Structure 1
Amino acid sequence: MPQLNLALIWHMHQPDYRDPVSGKTLMPWTYLHAVKDYGEMLKTAREFPGARMTFNLVPILVEQLERYMAGEADDHWLEAARKDPQLMSADERRFLLTQFFSVHGERHILPHARYRQLAQKRGSIALAANPDAFSDQDLRDLQVWFLLAWSGHHLRQEQAFIPYLLEKGENFSEQDKLQLFDLYDEEVAGVIDLYREMEEAGQIEISVTPYAHPILPLLCQTAIAREATPGIQLPGAAFRHPEDARLQVRYGLDFIARRLGDRPRGLWPSEGSVSEEVLRLLKEEGVLWAASDEEILAKSLDKGQELRQALYAPSSFEGLPLLFRDRELSDRIGFVYAHWEPERAAADLTGHLKSIAREHPGGVVALILDGENCWERYQDNGYPFLAALYGRLLQEPSLRLTTVSEALAASPGRPLSRLAPGSWINGDFSIWIGHAEENTAWEWLERTRRDTLGDQAAIDWKADNLPEKALHLLRAEGSDWFWWYGDDHSTEQADLFDRLFRRHLEAVYRADGQAVPQHLHSFIKPPHRKALVHEPTALFTPLIDGRINDYFEWLAAGAADLSAGGAMHASHRQFSMLLFGYDRKHLYLRLDPQEHLPSLIGACGYLQIRLASQEEWLARLDPLRQTLTLQRPGEEAVVAEGQGACDQIVEMAIPLAPLELAAGNTLTLSIHLLVDGEETARWPAEGPLTLNYRGEELEADEWYV
């Protein structure tokens, strides 16, 4: 029986974090992922001869790695990590306390006593941290633990100094820190050479994304968004510059060729975003193959064609070979398997692939996903899972782990008569266009291009001498700035992404010798301010016992301010904040009373939680009996029972099943204190809270940098 070809594509991508005006790199993620992931993934693959796969590189990422190698990055975060705390100002010390817990808590803080102690000392709100409460040694230990969290499996095995520091745990010296930096700098410096060497040896295939990771169909014409999403609000000024899309592709391919070898290469369009116009452009530029998501394939098939049959056979459009990713299996690696036992996760994925092999012998399965961000949630940076997976795949006779080019050579593509426009997210472009902030960004991009290039249809391009004005324009066209505009995603660094986008536009004007327009000094996304409601950051399951057991138990919870709008009665100050969140079975609520609640309200008092989404519900918490029931308004029958506990704190677990919430629903919630059947207080006083329920998408949609 013919083998099923498995084409793994690991996508490596970070945007350009350098402020083109100041020259300072504002965020360190390229360097830190180079320490932990870029070389790490190659070293794991190298341990398994015959494990053939494809690594996709974004040129703007490689460009940043070169700056670090040359010592030209001037990285703000790394400067803060290198600096002796004795020489720090109060603001510099506060920066460490604000930012240096930006790692996965479960994997990198909880297991280490000193890092955990520092996190507990800081508290959950970094900006409230008092830097004077932390000694110089506290801050030095924090610097080192933040860096250690970014050491991957192989570096810990290769460099005995890292296990030594992990064992030492605290009281690190400045020499300890600087020696660790020397190891990290050496690791970063070797990443590009390792990619070149492994491709030249035939162990991997390297594919490319256009230079600055732009959404190519939107560069060609923003109006394409309306084909994917009828009725979407478009920018007031249309952006239609296919010549820019072509330049992004041409310069990106040439950039990688000059550094990693001149050969035909396949291309993963940024975010899997494609259109017919884009695919024609790619073919004209000599791209070997392209790939996107299965939803694009589903929308492109003629009526009556079976999706799974088409998915597991290569396609083509006007002669350009295409693969479409298996979304479920790709997402299992990205979002599901992180907390599974590694062997069981590898066996599960292999089992799914064997089933496909039986139904589609000789076909091709494309697993395409982020190759850097998910591993911080895995045991030992994902090494046990990947080692188990590669080992199983190589031992399974029905499967062939191969590069994309090899898979396509073994199976010619079936022509598609049409190709639906869209991306790997929702099959459309709504992440990057349609919101007022996103549309403003497109309008400013168009204005900048018009002001500096006039009616020029194309930029005078030479492979080794692209003008700075053109480079800044290409970087401003990157997708990452638009990703953080709008309300689809949130990050504490949203203001930095906004600044970087506007600074790239500034740099275009400066390179053209023009004054910078005043509007570029204004925010597109307003500075982050404390909101009434902060959403949960992950699914979690607390112990419902009414006690504060561990700081981390509710760390992932959302928070809602209950004090806004004043109070009807002095006792209303009993609660000022609600913590909330959920797992797959329960909605969890936590209130921290100023007084012991059962003593305050007596035998006849209880809390009533009024919930409304598709229908209205009442949850009743009896503090004395420690019971929680769920019923419909006006009905006596109890529909479901949950859990409730009142001691130091008030904790509730409300069953989700009766609420019939779907991801994306909103849930209104208010809390009422009733004594002898009469309401004596409510929170918030001015009306219910509106909470967004994201369900399991909260876990799947989590963005790691």
Structure 2
Amino acid sequence: MKKLYLTFLWHMHQPYYKDDEAGVYHLPWVFLHGIKDYIEMAKYYEIYNIKAIFNLVPSLIEQIIDISKNFEQDILINKISQPVANLSENDKKFLKKALFWANEKNMISPSSRYKELYIRYGKNDLPIDSLSDLLDLEVHFLLSWTGTFIRDESSFIKSLILKDRFYTEDEKDQLLSILKSKFKYILEYYKTLKNRGKIEISTTPYYHPILPLLLEPASFYEALPDISIPTNAIQLTEDASWHVKEAKSLYKKIFEEDPKGFWPAEGSVSTKTAETLIRHRLIWMASDEDILSRSLNLDLKDNNFRNKLYKKYYYSSDDQNIFIFFRDKELSDLFGFVYSGLPPEKAVDDFLGKLKEIFLKCNFSPHVSIILDGENAWEFYHNNAREFFDLLYLKISETEWIETITYSEAIYKTEIGAEELQYVASGSWIYGNFSTWMGHPEKNKAWELLYKAIETYEKYKNNISPKKRNEIEKEIHVAQGSDWFWWYGDDHYTEQADTLDYLFRKHIINIYKKLSIDPPDELFIPIKKFHKKLKINPPIGEVYSNFDARLSSIFEYLGAGDVDIKYDLSSMHSDSNHLQRMRWGFLGNYLLMIILGNLKPLLTSKEDVVLHIKVNDDLIKVYLNKRSMENSSTKMVLKDYRVDESIELLFEIDKKIINTNIQLSFDLLKGDRIIEKAPVYSPISIFLTRKSLNNWVV
């Protein structure tokens, strides 16, 4: 009987936030995602008759174990645990910023008290000064990060949510006690589900390094031959093997058997990576469809070849095979970036409809892989995506032609076609290359500092004790993690970029200190120079344009407003990049706007390509590959447009919205599928005025 086999792989990962020298965790994400996401995501597989793979990174496992022994190591939890009356002024200043590290719409706004404090925090004339304010803020922060299942199981937590304000220290302590007890149970819970056959657990090289760049830095050039990498780059084959071997060792210690498969960090693979994993007796690994496309030298976006994505593949070395599974990029990205903005019923129907299309199109039993971050997307959904997942898993479990399986099971499903790969292309799940971790001047600088430290260690390591060597090698291995390089450059944004920069440099400084060598001065200078924020440069005068969707003259849009509409790419990443910047300005009574990007490849699509422009509560639809537009706005009326690499728009503006803020966002659709959103999460607020203004930052 023909079926569609469906595999979910949820990647659970945090970099190593601990400074071992100081004995403290500088960022709280292990604990916070533990109580909100790690338990929550696994719980569904206890409830519903479905299966999945959870990829637990060793650096995360290590931190869960360590924090469970002493929660006070976490700087934020340490300060929250203290009575607010005992806090220093510096502690209060730190907390008043950190306690708003939560999604405004879905985590802060549901509480009237938390939202009130958030609004006051944004206004300097209404400071949060009283001890009662700060105590309420601490409790609401913890509640906002508490998973829905933990809330459901605790009448005490429900009572705190209803109370909403005037919390006591005893109530805060009791809440912390409940959350800590749940956190301690995470690994045991996963082990229980695995032993019941409900989930498979896979893992990743230990500190989440980009394995191909350790094995062969020059593999960077395979996809990007014209971009420079550090001149002092060195092969770190032994380090790569260490990350794999120690990941397997920790896995066996916790789960009492060897792992069968790896999700290499960021889906980063190469032929040498496959051969390394084969030598370490792994039977499967996974990556992205872009890697399969390059490995086969086929365009998998072409409908003539698309079905090849839904088979399984293997690579052979020394008479041993490793099976390779490839994520469906479009479907996976819908979970990360699109379905959060839809009602659960519509999102679930859309997903099942797309699976049905694949099922009917294939003349074999297709195997579809949904692989994405299992922790960062859900704060952008209502109620931590509870209604979405409940409905999704219920409908999947009731659909006869869908069967959820793990990769270890898929290997033995003869109904799923298998093909051999002669080589595995070098690249990752982002753009199919390694530009997210190397190539930008900041990223290269970080690698250069690390390579220098490694060379210094190699020079002196025979003169130090085995204990000291182990300590130094841990610092080296931690610094090889992908996350440090992710946040350098101008492609991702986080409020904690400076802390992450400090931690990376601190790990390298520790190498020199343990060698009793003065660290180079450059290690005390921040690497991070590009701080990606929503910087809106407003217009400084009227604009001129040829109105041809091209900037063919330096005088076009001179003095226009300008904003990066992809500023909010963060710990998640959308691969689509057709929409990039927006410029705008007045020309007489009209508003001119140009969305700069890479739209030309879409213009030959046989499907309708439509740009949805959301202006406050109104929707404007612009068809890119045919002349048509639909306008529901009476305040901002689209009169004409042009499309080339970019799209240029001419609006007639109602005087009533001049000198007011308008909310703008853009969805790009191909057929009925949203292929890109800009901004990814929240609309941009533009103050629409003809007056000249100074630049401002939101």
TM-score by length of 1: 0.78
Aligned with 1:259 (options 254, 277, 280)? 254
Identity of aligned residues (%): 33
| CA shift for structure 1 position 651 | 4.0
Aligned with 1:488 (options 482, 486, 491)? 491
Give yes or no for the alignment of 1:280 onto 2:278.
Answer: no
Distance 2:176 2:591 in 1: 52
Aligned to 1:502: 505
Aligned to 2:119: 120
SS state at 1:120 partner: helix
Question: What is the CA deviation profile of residues 395-441 of structure 1, one whole-angstrom value per residue up to 9, with x for unaligned ones?
Answer: 21111111110011114631011221110000000011111110011
| CA shift for structure 1 position 252 | 0.9
Distance 2:394 2:596 in 1: 48
Aligned with 1:315 (options 304, 313, 316)? 313
Letter in 2 for 1:119: Y
- 8 Å contact kept, 2:638–2:651: yes
Aligned to 1:416: 421
Aligned to 1:517: 520
Give yes or no for the alignment of 1:45 onto 2:55.
Answer: no
- 8 Å contact kept, 1:5–1:363: yes
- 8 Å contact kept, 1:393–1:399: yes
Aligned with 2:470 (options 457, 462, 467)? 467
Aligned to 1:78: 77
1:136-151 to structure 2, matched below 5 A, reads 136-151=131-146
User: Residues 321 and 381 of structure 1: is their aligned pair in 2 closer, same or farther, counting only changes over 3 Å?
Assistant: same
1:509-588 to structure 2, matched below 5 A, reads 509-526=512-529, 534-535=533-534, 559-560=536-537
User: Residues 232 and 395 of structure 1: is their aligned pair in 2 closer, same or farther, counting only changes over 3 Å?
Assistant: same
Aligned to 1:349: 351
Aligned to 1:568: none
User: Residues 285 and 110 of structure 1: is their aligned pair in 2 closer, same or farther, counting only changes over 3 Å?
Assistant: same
Distance 2:306 2:466 in 1: 42
- 8 Å contact kept, 2:108–2:114: yes
Letter in 1 for 2:96: L
| CA shift for structure 1 position 304 | 8.9
- 8 Å contact kept, 1:644–1:651: no
- 8 Å contact kept, 1:199–1:205: yes
SS state at 1:143 partner: helix
Distance 1:608 1:639 in 2: 10
1:222-371 to structure 2, matched below 5 A, reads 222-302=217-297, 307-318=305-316, 319-360=321-362, 361-371=364-374
Letter in 2 for 1:391: L
Aligned to 1:393: 396
Aligned length: 603
- 8 Å contact kept, 1:25–1:75: yes
Aligned to 1:35: 35
Letter in 1 for 2:77: L
| CA shift for structure 1 position 466 | 8.7
Distance 1:641 1:33 in 2: 44
Distance 1:655 1:262 in 2: 49
Aligned to 1:15: 15
Letter in 1 for 2:32: L
| CA shift for structure 1 position 82 | 2.1
1:549-628 to structure 2, matched below 5 A, reads 559-560=536-537
Structure 1 spans left out of the alignment, 5+ residues: 536-557, 564-576, 592-604, 616-624, 674-680, 692-705
Question: What is the CA deviation profile of residues 545-604 of structure 1, one whole-angstrom value per residue up to 9, with x for unaligned ones?
Answer: xxxxxxxxxxxxx544789xxxxxxxxxxxxx989797999999999xxxxxxxxxxxxx
Question: What is the CA deviation profile of residues 460-487 of structure 1, one whole-angstrom value per residue up to 9, with x for unaligned ones?
Answer: 999xx99222211111000000000011
Question: What is the CA deviation profile of residues 500-525 of structure 1, one whole-angstrom value per residue up to 9, with x for unaligned ones?
Answer: 11111122233344333332222111
- 8 Å contact kept, 1:627–1:643: yes
Distance 1:100 1:489 in 2: 22
Distance 1:270 1:242 in 2: 16
User: Residues 421 and 73 of structure 1: is their aligned pair in 2 closer, same or farther, counting only changes over 3 Å?
Assistant: farther
The answer to which of 646-655 and 74-83 deviates more is 646-655
Distance 1:309 1:90 in 2: 61
Larger radius of gyration: 1
User: Residues 98 and 217 of structure 1: is their aligned pair in 2 closer, same or farther, counting only changes over 3 Å?
Assistant: same
User: Residues 345 and 210 of structure 1: is their aligned pair in 2 closer, same or farther, counting only changes over 3 Å?
Assistant: same
- 8 Å contact kept, 1:587–1:656: no
Give yes or no for the alignment of 1:219 onto 2:214.
Answer: yes
User: Residues 118 and 653 of structure 1: is their aligned pair in 2 closer, same or farther, counting only changes over 3 Å?
Assistant: closer
| CA shift for structure 1 position 221 | 2.0
Distance 1:502 1:639 in 2: 46
- 8 Å contact kept, 1:312–1:363: yes
Give yes or no for the alignment of 1:68 onto 2:67.
Answer: yes
Letter in 1 for 2:315: F
1:375-394 to structure 2, matched below 5 A, reads 375-394=378-397
Give yes or no for the alignment of 1:449 onto 2:459.
Answer: no
| CA shift for structure 1 position 269 | 0.4
Distance 2:309 2:689 in 1: 53
Structure 2 spans left out of the alignment, 5+ residues: 541-559, 567-577, 598-633, 643-647, 669-675, 680-685
Aligned to 2:613: none
